Amino acid sequence: MYMFIVRYLKAAMGNKELENMAFFYAELALVQYSMLVYYPSMTAAAAVYAARCSLGVNPLWSDILEYHTGLAEPQLLDCARRLMSLHSMAPESKQKAVYRKYSNPKLGAVALYSPDKKLLLV
């Protein structure tokens, strides 16, 4: 998944905050058995999408990202919602290591941001 997410982040032309948030979502997926239903490329794309949603980046998904991922925004929604759900449950989950890691200021404390509630409710 690492190579996919690096490529997609390059296409997203985001900052370090977006990068940290996307890697946080990707690492949450790695420790969840339920996320194995998605291909690594889908999970990586959804991690970038979820990060953009959580940080309020507009547009949420661009033609450039669609070109590089081969995925349209509607195709990402289910996986992105699951990632955001994992984020919202992370402080109380059994696998708190990822949450603690990304709560560190060295990684921008992105785990402390709240996930996009609008996307979770849809």
pLDDT tens, residue by residue, 73-108: 999 999 999 999 999 999 888 778 999 999 999 999
Average pLDDT, rounded, for the chain:
93
Residue 56 DSSP code: T
Q: So what's the pLDDT on residue 85?
A: 93
**What confidence tens digit (pLDDT) does each residue in 111-122 have?**
999 887 777 665
pLDDT (tens digit per residue) in 7-35: 999 999 989 999 999 999 999 999 999 99
Q: How many Cα atoms occupy the beta-carbon half-sphere of 118 within 13 Å?
A: 6
Q: Which domains does the chain have, with CATH numbers?
A: 2-121 (1.10.472.10)
CA distance 28 to 20: 12
pLDDT at 68 over 60: yes
Is residue 47 over pLDDT 80? yes
Task: Give the distance, in angstroms, between the CA of residue 83 and the centroid of all CA atoms in the same chain.
Answer: 6
Dihedral over alpha carbons 80, 84, 90, 96 (to 10 degrees): 30
Whether a cis peptide bond, with omega within 30° of 0, leads into 91 is no
| Predicted TM-score (pTM) of this structure | 0.94
Looking at residue 70, its pLDDT comes to 97
> What pLDDT is stored for residue 121 in this prediction?
61
